[in-house]
Amino acid sequence: MPDTKYVLAIDQGTTSTRAIVFDHSGQIVESGQIEHEQIFPRAGWVEHNAEEIWKNTREVVGLALTRANLTYKDLAAVGITNQRETAVVWDRTTGKPVYNAIVWQDTRTQKIADELGALGGGADRYKAKVGLPLATYFSGPKIKWILDNVDGARAKAEAGDLAFGNTDSWVLWNMTGGVDGGVHVTDPTNASRTMLMNLDTLTWNEDIANDMGIPLSMLPEIKSSSEVYGHGREGGMVPGVPIAGILGDQQAATFGQACFEVGHAKNTYGTGNFMLINTGTEPIPSKNGLLTTVCYKIGDQPTVYALEGSIAVTGSLVQWLRDNLGLISSAPEIEQLAKTVDDNGGAYFVPAFSGLFAPYWRSDARGALVGLTRFVNKGHIARAALEATAFQTREVLDAMNADSGVDLTELKVDGGMVQDELLMQFQADILGVTVIRPKVAETTALGAAYAAGIAVGFWNGEQDVIDNWAEDKRWEPQMDDAERDRQFRLWKKAVTKTFDWVDDDVV
């Protein structure tokens, strides 16, 4: 492969879309990033404008290539990584979404989940087949909601005129031609987050789709995470360039962090937090509130599975303090504000804005700031907000240790919040394990780039990923056991105060 070639990754995230150009050593050459609007029509509802996302995708690709002084001819391949579980339903003939994308954080489908559970099996009705509990988090119930609530949508779906995808499929379809022959494909990491895919066969489950009233014709074809799906459309951003990798964002970060051995784990600090542990080529059912999911599938190699702990609100809590309360004017200021105090002053912030995900799965929970006294100031609140991320991660790690039977001794971390060194030290302290940050923290985009590059021979395989990975910094635990136990006990007490808030009279 000529040295002048690069791989482009499109990272379609919850708050923004980015395009990053990587060289053969896995280093960032240049990037472009544009935020998109967060739409909140009602309490608990979260939407995105899928057409805005597609427009931003085109723009960020142009930005990244222009800043790198490159053209599409310099690209060996394009990879896509995306916010998972965010459902887009669009008309195949017009190319227009029939409704806004319903975001993974959205809770409007609770009634649908309850009704399906009432048919038998409760929240675990489909868990043995799909690895997931019935919850508002996943894509399947969102599709049903759109078909049930958008005029004419169900008739169009049954006529074969509507397509569904998480944002990976939406971006790929548009990039490869849209209404003029766009490729309608997803990969197993995204498909495993819909509640509609059999974990063992990586095929759509017709019975579950029927239960939800979803025609199979809407669903994308499931291909591996690393193969050529199609090529950039003529007249587009990357005409003729192979689009050859798709990984859901958290699996992409796991791949980019070179977690290829059983027991390797990473935690991504983004809008939410997501910890994954590689469990090998057999899915392991969780007994402790984790999700069984596909980790990655490279070409025709065996499928690799993972256990995942999903936390809904971490980085978005910092965003909330900035946008809703005006406590800070930019996200990085949170660390400096937190440093103005020595501890949390007895305050604990449980950000259950859209319920609690792993390990509780309590949709009836709502956020709480507890332990307040006149002593508490904005520095303490900032510190409590950061500590909430670390405490929630500890709860997931405990569940992961219990399910896997292996006590992790170190945790690889990535995502925007890992630049916050106060948080990283507290994370090591409250976990009691070493926390390691890589030199390239944008491991989500990097993982998608690797998947695409491997498919076209730009990289030879997993060993190239391992060879490229490099440590930037590590944090060792400094907190004594008694203090760690005390703080975690108070955190667990605070969590219980968020339960049972939502009732028939409160959305």
Tokens matching residue 480: 């004594």
Asked if residue 416 belongs to a known ligand binding site, the reply is yes
Asked if residue 326 belongs to a known ligand binding site, the reply is no
Distance, in Å, from the CA atom of 368 to the CA atom of 349, rounded to the nearest integer, reads 6
Per DSSP, the residues of 321-356 read HHHTS-S-SSTTHHHHHHTTSSS-TT-EEE--BTBB
- Kindly compute the dihedral angle of the four CA atoms of residues 98, 100, 103, 107, in this order, to the nearest 10 degrees: -90
Asked if residue 12 belongs to a known ligand binding site, the reply is no
AA letter at 257? Q
Asked if residue 457 belongs to a known ligand binding site, the reply is no
Asked if residue 15 belongs to a known ligand binding site, the reply is yes
10 Å CB burial of residue 463 (0-12, 13-18, 19+) is: exposed
Asked if residue 16 belongs to a known ligand binding site, the reply is yes
| CB-side neighbour CA atoms (13 Å) of 391 | 24
Largest distance between two CA atoms of the chain: 65
Tokens matching residue 60: 């960020």
Asked if residue 315 belongs to a known ligand binding site, the reply is yes
How is the beta sheet containing 75-82 ordered, strand by strand?
Answer: 28-35, 16-22, 6-12, 75-82, 242-248, 226-231
Asked if residue 319 belongs to a known ligand binding site, the reply is yes
> Do the Cβ atoms of 257 and 438 come closer than 8 Å?
yes
**Would you tell me the crossing angle of helices 443-455 and 249-256 to the nearest 10 degrees?**
80
Asked if residue 85 belongs to a known ligand binding site, the reply is yes
Binding residues: 14-16, 18, 84-85, 137, 249-250, 271, 315, 319, 416
Which parts are annotated binding residues for glycerol? 84-85, 137, 249-250
- Residue ranges for the known binding site for ATP are 14-16, 271, 315, 319, 416
Binding-site annotation: residue ranges for sn-glycerol 3-phosphate: 14, 84-85, 137, 249
Annotated binding site for ADP: 14, 18, 271, 315, 416
